[in-house]
Amino acid sequence: MKRLLVYLKDYKKESILAPLFKMLEASFELFVPLVVADMIDTGISHKDGGYILRMGALLLLLAIIGLVCSITAQYFAAKAATGFAAKMKHALFLHIQKLGYTEMDTQGTATLITRMTSDSNQVQNGVNLVLRLFLRSPFIVLGAMVMAFTIDIQAALIFVVTIPLLSIVVFGIMIASIPLYKKVQGRLDAVLGITRENLTGVRVIRAFHQEEEETKRFEESNQTLTKVQMFVGRISALMNPLTFVIVNGAIMALIWTGAWKVDSGVLTQGQVVALVNYMSQILVELVKLASLIINITKALACAKRIEGVFEMHASLTEPEKAVDGWQKKEGNIVDFNHVTLQYKNAGAPSLTDIDFHVKRGETIGVIGGTGSGKSSLVNLIPRFYDVTEGSVCVNGTDVKNFSLNELRKRIGVVPQKAVLFAGSIRDNLLWGKEDATDAEIKKALQISQADEFVAGKEEGLDTFITQGGKNLSGGQRQRLTIARAVIRKPDILILDDSASALDFATDAKLRKAIREMENRPAVFIVSQRAASIQYADQIIVLDDGMIAGIGKHEELLKTCSVYQEIYYSQFRKSKQSETEIMHGEDVG
């Protein structure tokens, strides 16, 4: 929690005033039993109606002052808690954005979402409760004991015994609950993960008629969460009955002690009532404190989980002295120098001894079987992952020597999954270049072969896209993500299986348009289709993370068995017709 308290530093005034006003409220509350005692001993005993009315007015005044203090304390506590939570969430989001792919893969999306939402809200609630009640309840408990000593020392000794017993119960249950609440939040991560997975893949689930199986899986995970919550709930539920037993036993002792002291004239009836009221105040406050401790326990468990995210260090670090600017140099634009990549916690390398060189303006095809390492290879260029051995150089400089911003703004990446965000088509394309003009947007749409379908929309560039682009077809989404990448006119363009939803003719037109771009970027085309990469300047054939062959189409067709297997598996039946389409649409 110490790591998070730094976000309260701008709310020092509120953090002091909130408990201060609560202490004022508590102070006025401690006077109430004395006023009631005086009302009984003087007003009721002497049948003095005027005195009773004056004491009643005093009680009303104490209640109003207490209410004003309580509202003021609540205002300052809420302001500090919400401001703290806002700053913490902002810092947490920025920190998550700085994490690399490795950390995101290891931690998982579901748990990060839980920590950004549920955990953060629990911590906010905990801060609010601490500022309002954490000092108030102990103050009233101790204050009631002190006030009892001012009435009668012997009777007050009952308070001295009762309060430690109550403290043992309350804090014992708190210590037992803290680790269990951590388990509850962990189970909540699992439920959230299944929920997110089902909502994202609802179409697939329905297509394969897996609704019952997924419902069963969710119910099992939810049942596990329920069992843990019920177990910790039973432990927490012991607090109220145990505290009531102890306090009611203390009240019985007070009444018994007070009865014979009233008979002997040592105490008045009003003083006995005051002692009972003070004990009742202790009961109420300890019940509040018990509830407060449960919430604080949850908040502390959530705070530790959030701190765990802050303690995660990005594996991708910025260089101490980054390369200044980007000046085009003679020679290769991309160099892979005996590169090996092994993911964190993986048993074996995903890429082994990858060595090749790319000149400016060249088109490189990357092909191979599923899991051969195609995406892993191109992900090293914009430094989404760091190599385990060897080096990746861009523009003659190791990628580790560039600032991530400088490196990535020169590279256009179209990932395998076409991701669009809620907003207009224009908004999505401006992710590629914030200050792009409509003319630049139109040019990017022409290159990506998306201009025709965008022009066909009634609102054109202002057409609204739902989250994830669900109101577009797969091919339309892919073409818009390609337009988003090419609009920045990158020096390196990476198309990671990003035309899989396009027909052969559109795919050929797309590659032809990219090849004719004014800035002539080096293009990496990752594809499962041999037709999409067969006219590349170089084709890299991967097999189980190693280069099985590298060269032009004709050369590989003669010398590389892996490439032959891929090519002939796709062209055996319709080889001639598809090749004719490619020759008709592609300049080679």
What is the 3 state secondary structure string of 367-382?
A: EECCCCCHHHHHHCCC
Strands (E), 190-274: none
Is the alpha carbon torsion for 584, 504, 490, 336 positive or negative? Answer: negative
Token output for 250 = 């203390």
Alpha-helical runs (H) found in 9-135: 12-38, 49-98, 101-107, 109-116, 118-129
Query: What beta strand segments (E) does 387-521 contain?
Result: 389-394, 397-398, 411-414, 423-424, 464-465, 492-496
Ranges of the chain with pLDDT below 50 = 573-588
pLDDT at position 259: 84
Contact between residue 468 and residue 522 where contact means Cβ atoms under 8 Å apart: no
The residues of the chain that CATH labels 3.40.50.300 are 332-585
Whose CA is closest to 367, among 527, 557, 566?
A: 527
What distance lies between CA 283 and its chain's CA centroid? 39
Pair of tokens at residue 145: 């004991």
Chain center to CA of 429: 26
Contact at 8 Å (CB) between 161 and 254?
no
Closest alpha carbon to 538 in 554, 518, 519? 554
Amino acid 586: pLDDT: 44
Question: What's domain 332-585's superfamily in CATH?
Answer: P-loop containing nucleotide triphosphate hydrolases (3.40.50.300)
Helix count and strand count (H, E) for the chain: 23, 12
CATH 1.20.1560.10 domain extents, the chain: 2-310
Question: d(Cα 3, Cα 396) in Å, to the nearest integer?
Answer: 41
Residue 527, exposed/middle/buried by CB under 10 A (0-12, 13-18, 19+)?
Answer: buried
Task: Give residue 552's pLDDT.
Answer: 92
Residue 192's pLDDT is what?
81
Separation between Cα atoms, residue 231 and residue 371, nearest integer Å? 44
pLDDT number for residue 356 = 94
- In terms of Cβ atoms closer than 10 Å to its own Cβ (0-12, 13-18, 19+), residue 178 is middle
Is CATH 3.40.140.10 correct for 2-310?
no
Contact 541, 368 (CB under 8 A): yes
Strand-pairing partners, residue 541, are 367, 549
Q: Note the pLDDT tens digit of each residue in 123-180.
A: 999 999 989 888 888 888 888 888 888 888 888 888 888 888 887 887 787 778 777 8
Q: Which two tokens stand for residue 546?
A: 């190693």
Looking at this protein, which amino acid is placed at residue 533?
I
Question: pLDDT at position 574, please?
Answer: 44
What is 377-399 written as a DSSP string? Answer: HHHTTTTSS--SEEEEEETTEEG
Q: Evaluate whether 232 touches 297 at the Cβ level (below 8 Å).
A: no
Q: What is the 3-state secondary structure (H, E, C) of 308-370?
A: HHHCCCCCCCCCCCCCCCCCCCCCEEEEEEEEEECCCCCCCCCEEEEEEEEECCCEEEEEECC
pLDDT at 286: 74
pTM value?
Answer: 0.69
Q: Is 286 exposed, middle or buried (0-12, 13-18, 19+ CB in 10 A)?
A: buried
User: pLDDT value at position 325?
Assistant: 67
The per-residue pLDDT for 576 is 45
pLDDT in tens, 165-213: 887 887 787 778 777 877 887 788 788 888 888 887 888 888 888 889 9
In one-letter notation, the amino acid at residue 316 is L
Strands 363-368, 538-543: pairing is: parallel
